[in-house]
A and B are shown apart, each in its own frame.
Chain A
Amino acid sequence: MDWNTIISNTVRSGLTQQAIIFALAAIGLNLHFGYTGLLNFGQVAFMAAGAYGVGITTSYFDAPLWVGMLVGIGAGIVLALLLGIPTLRLRADYLAIVTIAVGEIIRLSVRAARYSWLTGGSNGINGFSNDFQNWNPLNNGQEYGFRLFGRLNLEFTGADLWEILVGWTVVVLGVLLMWKLVRSPWGRVLKSIREDEDAATSLGKNTFNFKMQSLILGGTFGTLAGIYFAVQQNSVQPDNYATQQTFFALTAAILGGLATIWGPVLGAMLFWMVLSFVENLLIQLINAGIMPDWLMTRSQVGPVRFMLVGLTLMALMIWRPQGILGDKREIAIDVRK
């Protein structure tokens, strides 16, 4: 058992690209669910809108990467309007079903062979964001080593380090924006909608508009997650946008603490650290022959990790809906009266 590898891999996955992607998606879900009480189960639709926005603009229309990013954000806003107009007047669980359906509509459409001239079908779109690495001030190929607590070694290539630095910068800017917003009068209206929409309406607030603004802004964080995912991978794959991604991000947000500023970020980091820890531990147990073959083989480690996610989500919702940082009184687990 090589505990040093297990722990350094664990720490690493809390800091790297996947944690960043899920932090961004979870910040958006937190604005929707944590602050406004909107059940958006289709955050992955926003991610796909962003990712395909960049991919299609840069590869099919040959536009520069920054134009692609703007188009991606625009696509997310349009999607929020399309989703919100029919559903925001309805009860919360209708929004949940419609958003999950739209996520699946988008995934099935972009992977269809019929539209592969535009979206690349099930192969997706590849090799469109080389510019991002060209903007890298660091040396792409060079290894940068860090030593934590005197014994944990973390090494990143220049390319990775650039992606990570840009990603966390976006996350921190997003968190600062959220911090400003939820303390503003606007943020207080959102919370009042979460607590009692009728009361907010009776105070003269146009709750539909506020909910729409929340949907757009939270969706934009999902879009940013998708854009970052696409640019960093230099690739868009339709099956990365399956419905369960939303639920993983939701688990991360609940784990950290809904209706808190740092909760989603902490949750996303912990989510990937736990997944990585379990994976590394199980693989080492299998390699060392401690885990018997009939119980688990190497290809079964993946599913076990996600079974754990499901159990975590259940346990959190039953015993600790406020997660690590949250306040139980602020959790909108009973939006539907």
Chain B
Amino acid sequence: MSPPSTRQRPLMIVLIALVVTTLFGATARAQGDDQSEGVQTTLRVTPSEAGADKYPIEGVEIIVYEATIENREIQSVGDQVGTGVSDAEGYVFVPVPEPGPYAVEINLDTLPEGVELVRADKQQLPVEARIGQPTTVIFNLADSDVATAARGKESDSLLTRGTRLTFEGLIFGITIGLCAVGLSLIYGTTGLVNFAHGELIVFGAIMAYVFNSIVGLDLIWSTVLAVAVGGLFGSTLDLVLWRPLRRRGIGLTAMMIVSIGLALFLRFLFLFRFGERSRPYDDYAVQTEPFFSVGPVDVLPKEFVIILVGGAILVGVGLALQYTKMGKAMRAVSDSNDLAASTGIDVNRVVSAVWFAGGALAALGAIFFGLNSQISWLMGQQLLLLVFAAVTLGGLGTFFGATVGSLIIGVLTFLSTLVAAPELKNVGALFIMIVILMVRPQGIFGRRERIG
């Protein structure tokens, strides 16, 4: 988390130039490229005998339709695009004319006797076909008795569903928390309500995508690189934009509006280079086998990693703020710029470090989000409001508030689907934020003075 000092500046410029050329060159190539788009699946059945391997089934028909998809749910189904029949390995490939949203249907009449779809409502699956490569869908098939048992699990009690949703909500909360800590620290040290934080999120997500899908690195290495590049992006923004503006003594409201302008510029730049489609990461995005189970909760390997790494980093940032020299300096600058400066703290260096941390954490949050969902140019805008909700809930400008606020918002967002439509889950979180502002405007952990 050390800030790029003046000596490192040439290195930084080289790195940024590298990133920019990768981003621009590579996505342009991806757009021109146009070969075997299609949908693939391997039909394998979970057998009755415990411990036995899944077995493939042959001769099952798969049908692909044009469709519109929203939030990974099929909205409407159009013309049939193609069909395919599974081979001896259970493999089917159905080519599609162009990348985009499709609905993939399994023809239940062609299933052998005694094999069932575990969830009857999953006969059609949504898929975003990618450019130049097959996109995989998975049908969850099982022998009849296993399927029946699994179905019992689906209609579980409120408590069981609540437990699972709480778990998913915690993961989502960690994701938002990583983004919220940066926003909150930036606010604390500079007073800026950074509306462009959503674009720091998208930048990190896209960088990881570029390293992963275009350069071809494993997602783990892509994440490390994207987090570093995201941090550099943050401190570069501070260096070329915010620091000169602070030096001019520009007002905080004006800075906030500048950040809106920056957000619009970056958002449409991402749309310009990255296109409108949502994309998943190549690695680890599709996982079905749980790593382990706790009660009713199946923990996927990627979820385990998110909790472990994300949680450790949040705790680490908290400890660093409490005990390291730089962390103490950050808190001192948050309390009072002038007092901190008069005790010999280099305020600009501290703020630069805060921006580095903000960009890096936002990138990590974005990649975690992308693992469970897809990345797109709009994801920052959608996450930003939840991040605001989390930060407001916990109390603007405090680390602890941002983290706890994020976990609460994450869990409440997912639990709200118990009573409300899933498409409205963000509405609940935003609503909570407004209620909190009415009853306790300084947030749960905020100090009274901060509401001014």
Q: Which residues of A contact B (CB under 8 A)?
A: 39, 86-87, 90-94, 96-98, 100-102, 104-105, 108-109, 112-114, 122, 243-244, 247, 250-251, 254, 294, 300, 303-304, 306-307, 309-318, 321, 332-337
Question: In the complex the two chains form, what is the Cα distance from A92 to B255 in whole Å?
Answer: 14
Specify which chain B residues have a CB less than 8 angstroms from the CB of A303 in the assembled complex: 268-269, 271-272
B265 in complex: contacting residue of A90, A91, A311, A317, CB < 8 Å: A311
Question: In the complex the two chains form, what is the Cα distance from A310 to B251 in whole Å?
Answer: 19
B150 adjacent to chain A (CB < 8 Å) = no
Specify which chain A residues have a CB less than 8 angstroms from the CB of B426 in the assembled complex: 104, 108
Q: Indicate the member of A112, A114, A243, A318 with the most B CB atoms within 10 Å.
A: A318
Contact stretch, chosen from B46-54, B203-211, B385-393, B407-415: B385-393
Q: Are A93 and B256 in contact (CB under 8 A)?
A: yes
Q: Are B264 and A306 in contact (CB under 8 A)?
A: yes
Q: Are B268 and A310 in contact (CB under 8 A)?
A: yes
Question: In the complex the two chains form, what is the Cα distance from A58 to B258 in whole Å?
Answer: 40
Assuming A86-B438, A309-B264, is B251 touching A333 (CB within 8 A)? yes
B253 in complex: contacting residue of A90, A311, A332, CB < 8 Å: A332
B254 adjacent to chain A (CB < 8 Å) = yes
B257 adjacent to chain A (CB < 8 Å) = yes
Q: Which residues of B contact A (CB under 8 A)?
A: 28, 70, 75, 193, 245, 250-254, 256-258, 260-269, 271-272, 381, 385, 388-389, 392, 421, 423-424, 426-427, 430-431, 433-434, 437-438, 441, 451-452
Q: Are A313 and B260 in contact (CB under 8 A)?
A: yes
Interface residues of B, dominant DSSP? helix
Specify which chain B residues have a CB less than 8 angstroms from the CB of A86 in the assembled complex: 434, 437-438
A91 in complex: contacting residue of B250, B423, B433, B451, CB < 8 Å: B451
Q: Are B265 and A108 in contact (CB under 8 A)?
A: no
Question: In the complex the two chains form, what is the Cα distance from A90 to B451 in whole Å?
Answer: 7
B423 in complex: contacting residue of A112, A310, A336, CB < 8 Å: A112
Assuming A108-B423, A109-B427, is B254 touching A90 (CB within 8 A)? no
Specify which chain A residues have a CB less than 8 angstroms from the CB of B252 in the assembled complex: 93, 334, 336
Q: Are A109 and B424 in contact (CB under 8 A)?
A: yes
Q: Are B268 and A247 in contact (CB under 8 A)?
A: no
Can you pick out 8 interface pairs between chain A and chain B where the beta carbons lie within 8 Å of each other? Answer: A86-B434, A97-B433, A101-B388, A112-B423, A307-B268, A312-B261, A333-B254, A334-B252
Question: In the complex the two chains form, what is the Cα distance from A182 to B452 in whole Å?
Answer: 28
Q: Are A102 and B272 in contact (CB under 8 A)?
A: no
B261 in complex: contacting residue of A114, A122, A310, CB < 8 Å: A310
Assuming A310-B262, A310-B263, A313-B260, is B385 touching A90 (CB within 8 A)? no
Nearest CB in chain A to that of B430: its residue: A101
Specify which chain A residues have a CB less than 8 angstroms from the CB of B28 in the assembled complex: 294
Specify which chain A residues have a CB less than 8 angstroms from the CB of B254 in the assembled complex: 317-318, 321, 333-334
Specify which chain A residues have a CB less than 8 angstroms from the CB of B269 in the assembled complex: 303, 307
